[in-house]
């Protein structure tokens, strides 16, 4: 048997190449906590995903996708989850096990492939017509540590912010109101507006509301469900 002796320099380079290859394929562990910073808003089931820089859940100044519209108007994240799955994203669905109430947090771990370099999040804001809390393609740090990101409320631009109770079915006017919010939200409002000039994804202007829970213009209580950005905090620990 012929034995080929490898030079020390070549052996070192080979080991270095193997080490680099091992590093690039190593999975990354992310420990994530999302906190609702508002005093009277709930978030519908949250979807969080690590994905490549070629994928987006949403983008400011772009038209909302049908999947984003379904989430922003009715809280349905299944379409976004399907898109992310097809893009080989690492996904976490509904860490709160339902609605995320005001001042409450939900924590979870996301195992991230090396190819997925960006993090996104979305959840509908209740009560709203098509408002959602979102994180758009935040670049995941390679260095281990804890990072904090504050999240804004966005408007999908798909429905007029009439602030009136409705079914929450995408394409139908009105906002869904689940049982936990019934006591603080009125009904029979005449509507703050019946049109929106901006039909692209944009920063939400907030709800106007009123103090008349049986009539008035809005079905939103102006002392409970009004908000200012940011509406959520994301704490990401890269392990």
Dist CA 175 CA 198 (whole Å): 18
Token pair of 177 as six digits: 């109101």
The pair phi, psi for residue 15, each rounded to 5°, is: -65, -40
Task: Count the neighbouring beta carbons within 10 Å of the beta carbon of residue 32.
Answer: 19
Q: Between 15 and 160, whose confidence is greater? A: 160
The SS3 call for residue 100 is strand
225: left (phi > 0), else alpha (psi -120 to 50), else beta?
alpha
Residue 78 CB partners (closer than 8 Å, separation 6+): 70
**pLDDT tens digits, one per residue of 194-238:** 888 899 999 999 999 999 988 999 999 998 888 999 999 999 999
Question: In the chain, which residue ranges form alpha helices assigned H by DSSP?
Answer: 8-25, 66-74, 78-86
- Cα–Cα dist 152/197, whole Å: 20
pLDDT digits (tens, 9 = 90+) for 64-85: 999 999 999 999 999 999 999 9
pTM for this one? 0.87
Contact (CB, 8 A) for 125 and 153: yes
Rounded Cα gap, residues 81 and 237, in angstroms: 23
**CATH number attached to the domain at 28-238:** 2.60.40.2130
Query: How far are the Cα atoms of 41, 67, 142 from residue 148, in angstroms, in the given order?
Result: 21, 27, 15
Q: What is the DSSP letter of 175?
A: B
């Amino acid at each position: 048997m012929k034995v080929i002796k490898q030079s020390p320099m070549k052996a070192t380079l080979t080991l270095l190449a193997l080490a680099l290859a091992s590093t690039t394929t190593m999975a990354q562990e992310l420990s994530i906590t999302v906190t609702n910073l508002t005093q009277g808003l709930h978030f519908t089931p949250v979807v969080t995903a690590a994905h490549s820089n070629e994928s987006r859940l949403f983008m400011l100044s772009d038209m909302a996708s049908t999947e984003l519209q379904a989430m922003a108007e009715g809280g349905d994240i299944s379409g976004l989850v399907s898109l992310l799955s097809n893009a080989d994203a690492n996904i976490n669905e509904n860490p709160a096990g339902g609605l995320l109430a005001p001042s409450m947090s939900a924590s979870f771990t996301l195992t991230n492939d090396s190819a997925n370099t960006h993090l996104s999040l979305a959840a509908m804001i209740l009560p709203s017509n098509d408002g959602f809390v979102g994180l758009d393609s935040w670049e995941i740090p390679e260095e281990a540590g804890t990072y904090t990101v504050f999240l804004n409320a966005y408007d999908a631009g798909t429905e007029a912010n009439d602030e009136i109770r409705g079914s929450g079915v995408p394409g139908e006017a009105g906002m869904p109101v689940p049982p936990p919010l019934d006591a603080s939200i009125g009904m029979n409002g005449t509507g703050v507006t019946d049109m929106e000039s901006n039909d692209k994804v944009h920063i939400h202007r907030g709800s106007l509301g009123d103090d008349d829970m049986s009539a008035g213009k809005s079905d939103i209580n102006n002392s409970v469900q009004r908000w200012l950005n940011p509406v959520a905090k994301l704490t990401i620990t890269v392990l």
